[in-house]
Amino acid sequence: NVQQLGEVLLQRGKLVEAKKNITLWLTKTSGTWIREHWSSALPVLQKLIAEGLAPEFGALLQRRENDSVLRSLGRALTSPKDIAAGDTDDALIAELKQATDQY
């Protein structure tokens, strides 16, 4: 699947190819899928943060007007330091913020 391929390419430093696959994944996925497969999604999001690509993909997710989970993830990726404790009760966002604090 494109999410796994994107993750492998990202890990191997093939950023151009990885970005294409991750873009496709994030434009086709849903917040429901992210919630159900969080343990698979989080490492990809962490790697995007580590590579400095989080703002780009955060902006992509924020444009997903029909999906509040993805919009929230997009905000967290775009400016994780701006999400204050208690700003959201969403466990996924809190976990993503916690993961971003190490980068």
Which tens digit of pLDDT belongs to each residue from 32-71?
998 889 889 988 988 888 888 989 999 999 999 888 889 8
R_g of the chain, CA atoms, integer Å: 12
Which amino acid is present at 43?
A: P
Query: Is the entire prediction scored with pTM above 0.75?
Result: yes
Tell me the C-alpha to C-alpha distance, in Å, between residue 46 and each of 25, 65, 66, 95.
Answer: 16, 23, 24, 11
Q: Do residues 100 and 55 lie in contact, with contact meaning Cβ atoms separated by under 8 Å?
A: no
Q: How many CB atoms lie within 10 A of CB 27?
A: 13
Among the residue ranges 67-71, 74-78, 96-100, the one predicted with the least confidence is: 96-100
Give me the phi and psi of 63, to 5 degrees please. -80, -5
Task: Tell me the residue type at 100.
Answer: T
Helix axis angle for 54-62 and 15-28, nearest 10°, is 20
